[in-house]
Structure 1
Amino acid sequence: MLSRTFLCLSIASMSTPLLADTVWMKNGDRLTGTIKVFDGGKLLLQTEYGGSIQLDWKKIATLETSNDLLVRQEGERNLNGVLVKSLKPADAGKVVIADGGTPKTVELASIEQILKPKPLVQDLTWKGNIDVSLDYKRAEKDTDDYDIDFKTSARHGLWRHNAKGDYNREFQDDVKTTDNWSAEYALDRFLDEHWFWQGRGEYKSDKIEELRRQRTLGTGPGYQFWDNELGAFSMATLLNRTDHEYDTGEKENFYALGVKWDYNRYLIGKAFELFTNGEVGKPLGNVADYTLDAEIGLRYKVTDWASLNMKAEKDVVAGSQGDLDETRYTVGFGVGW
């Protein structure tokens, strides 16, 4: 019995490394880990010994994995690629694809993208980021500028919770020139893989501009175009009820149709992230012309959790009591998970 136990342990210890994905480089190196994504000429390999490693696709001889992957080749009509059951090593510059039929050998150069298939979310998944930018300028006018933004999303099954907020403050020669903050919460209920219904609430406060407070409640359908290792893109059309309060004490409220978007795309082996989100609205009636709240930016990953970012934010309200038109450009540091 004792010898059988040792035999089983030995077999298990010898077979465990085989479960890892393997990449052979043209210079003879052999790397093991988990293949996360291939895009933009970079293969991202998650390792226990070095974290996420970016490998130049042209320097790879061949590779092996027993995990399901979506592989897209040149001329493939399906933008998500074809589901393959495994990749087996072959001669240098080639790989064997097993997709349930007869295995075939293809050139690595013919592969344009590799993704992990997105399973139906059963357990709780949570992702988000916090970006901070500080700007201190000492010149003819001393300027202190602070900007903090956060965004997070948690999904369990057919439900997704979204929250975001920001805080902006600026001083010029100890005179406050910007002082505002906002917070938003949205709840999505997925009807199928793509369609969902959203309900949301948002509050904005500004102590400097004519428009001091904005409160918005809305609901409507949305569509998730994609959500995978390379990013996500969704849009929602909402019927909103908005309340405005001005520095004069005047108030107005109106209903509006709004279109929200949320887009992010990882580039060059997830080293860079392009993102944009916001909402444009058209009030029903003559109380206001239109509203716009949007941002666009770029993040560069320094480590697995830390990044440098730069972005532009635009906030526009064309109303009957006064106009708000703000544009902010920030560069800062962030953390993500």
Structure 2
Amino acid sequence: MLFENTLSRALLCVALAVVAGPLFADTVWLKNGDRLSGTIKLFDGGKLVLETDYGGTIALDWKKVATLQSDQELLVKQDEVTGERAKSLQAAEAGKVTLVNGEAPKTVELASIEQLMKPRPLVEDFVWKGNVDLGLDYKRAEKDTDDYDVDFKTKARHGRWRHNAEGGYNREKQNNVVTTDNWDAEYALDRFLDEHWFWQGRLGYRRDKIEDVSSQRTIGTGPGYQFWDDELGAFSLASLVNRNDYEYADGGNNDFYSLGLKWDYNRYLVGRSVELFTNGEVGKPIGSDTDYELDAEAGLRYKVTDWASLNVKAEKNLVSGAEAGELDETRYSVGFGVGW
């Protein structure tokens, strides 16, 4: 009798698992007749991101979707500002989906939906992501040096606003003598005018205890274009007019204007386990003999867990045609990071 009861309970658990399993899987029907199951992670920028156990993370063209269903609670946004919580989504006729929110179900056109996402606490459409990298740098310039480096970068978006913050600290020693000791920070605020175009304003500051330029302050503004920004990566360009103020270690100062082009690109590969990234700025001072300036980095991150990663990157700092002499410096680093 005991064996029979145990066997019955085991069979019941298996049956419940078989029946309940598909209930928690989201389903997407495509216009060509295909049906995909998985977990809907996000819809933004014209791409529906579906996480599957058979093909990893898949980005589907929203225009190819006929309808879909989900048992998740999702925030459905039909414009940039307001959104509606749906306790679940039910399949409807081609080109539509039904929102179930506890009241009378409402069927809407897929074309009217601009975003789908898991609602966040407090601010439902708040999206925050970033990373902190710690590393040992291996630098090859006029002299070979080793140094320790800490960098952070984060973005937070709500509605038409996006906040960007980044910074770092670098300290180098050569033959027990401190050769580099500096830190920098930058904050930029983006106001989206539509799905892609935005206007950016930024503030930047750099402090150096070793070099002749002891501090740099930058204020800039200008238009930008967001090509895409979804669960698989992002790419944006911004063109800025900057005012730069330099203070020197001997007490002197200088200020000038410049034109700059910033880029920010990242892309997840191999089922979101590897991230390729590059960002930086190239600029041309106005009324200066300097040809151009370049400050850029590129690298790879390998996700060890959902939050931990290993990284390898290269940084390039180049000033061409400067009155005081040209600068061409490259730094390579490997390290450990955390992300969210």
User: Which TM-score tier does this pair reach, normalised by the shorter chain?
Assistant: 0.5 to 0.7
- My pick for the range that moved more, 321-330 or 149-158, is 321-330
State how far apart, in whole Å, the 2-side matches of 1:271 and 1:299 are: 8
**Partner residue in 1 for 2:323:** 320
Instruction: Name the aligned partner's letter for residue 162 of structure 1.
Output: N
**Partner residue in 2 for 1:85:** 67
**Partner residue in 2 for 1:296:** 298
Instruction: Name the aligned partner's letter for residue 34 of structure 1.
Output: T
**Partner residue in 2 for 1:237:** 239
**Displacement after TM superposition at 1:249 (Å):** 3.6
1:128 aligned onto 2:130: yes
State how far apart, in whole Å, the 1-side matches of 2:209 and 2:249 are: 9
CA contact (8 A) 1:70 1:81 kept: no
Instruction: Name the aligned partner's letter for residue 242 of structure 2.
Output: N
- Among candidates 309, 333, 338, match of residue 330 of structure 1: 333
Instruction: Name the aligned partner's letter for residue 282 of structure 1.
Output: K
Correspondences of 1:177-326 after superposition (within 5 Å): 177-318=179-320, 319-326=322-329
Instruction: Name the aligned partner's letter for residue 284 of structure 1.
Output: I
State how far apart, in whole Å, the 2-side matches of 1:135 and 1:218 are: 30
CA contact (8 A) 2:137 2:331 kept: no
Instruction: Name the aligned partner's letter for residue 213 of structure 1.
Output: S
State how far apart, in whole Å, the 1-side matches of 2:282 and 2:204 are: 14
CA contact (8 A) 2:26 2:68 kept: no
Structure 1 residue runs without a partner (length 5+): 1-13, 23-31, 38-42, 46-53, 58-68, 73-79, 88-96, 102-116
SS in 1 for 2:195: coil
State how far apart, in whole Å, the 2-side matches of 1:178 and 1:127 are: 30
- My pick for the range that moved more, 146-155 or 177-186, is 177-186
**Partner residue in 1 for 2:60:** 71
Over residues 125-179 of structure 1, what are the superposed CA-to-partner deviations in whole Å (9 max), with x where a residue is unaligned? 110000001369xxxx997521100000001100000000011111122111221
Q: 1:323 to 1:312 in 2, by over 3 A?
A: same
Instruction: Name the aligned partner's letter for residue 196 of structure 1.
Output: F
RMSD: 3.5
Instruction: Name the aligned partner's letter for residue 82 of structure 1.
Output: K
Over residues 57-109 of structure 1, what are the superposed CA-to-partner deviations in whole Å (9 max), with x where a residue is unaligned? 7xxxxxxxxxxx9635xxxxxxx76234239xxxxxxxxx99817xxxxxxxx
**Partner residue in 2 for 1:18:** 23
Q: 1:223 to 1:143 in 2, by over 3 A?
A: closer
CA contact (8 A) 2:274 2:302 kept: yes
Q: 1:144 to 1:256 in 2, by over 3 A?
A: closer
State how far apart, in whole Å, the 1-side matches of 2:192 and 2:329 are: 34
State how far apart, in whole Å, the 1-side matches of 2:153 and 2:234 are: 14
Correspondences of 1:111-190 after superposition (within 5 Å): 118-119=115-116, 123-134=125-136, 145-190=147-192
Q: 1:135 to 1:222 in 2, by over 3 A?
A: closer
The percent identity for this pair of structures is 65
Correspondences of 1:17-36 after superposition (within 5 Å): 18-21=23-26, 34-36=39-41
Instruction: Name the aligned partner's letter for residue 85 of structure 1.
Output: T
CA contact (8 A) 1:161 1:186 kept: yes
Instruction: Name the aligned partner's letter for residue 229 of structure 1.
Output: E
How many residues are treated as equivalent by the alignment? 261
Q: 1:150 to 1:84 in 2, by over 3 A?
A: farther
State how far apart, in whole Å, the 2-side matches of 1:183 and 1:240 are: 16
CA contact (8 A) 1:210 1:322 kept: no
State how far apart, in whole Å, the 2-side matches of 1:326 and 1:124 are: 38
**Displacement after TM superposition at 1:228 (Å):** 1.3
Instruction: Name the aligned partner's letter for residue 21 of structure 1.
Output: D
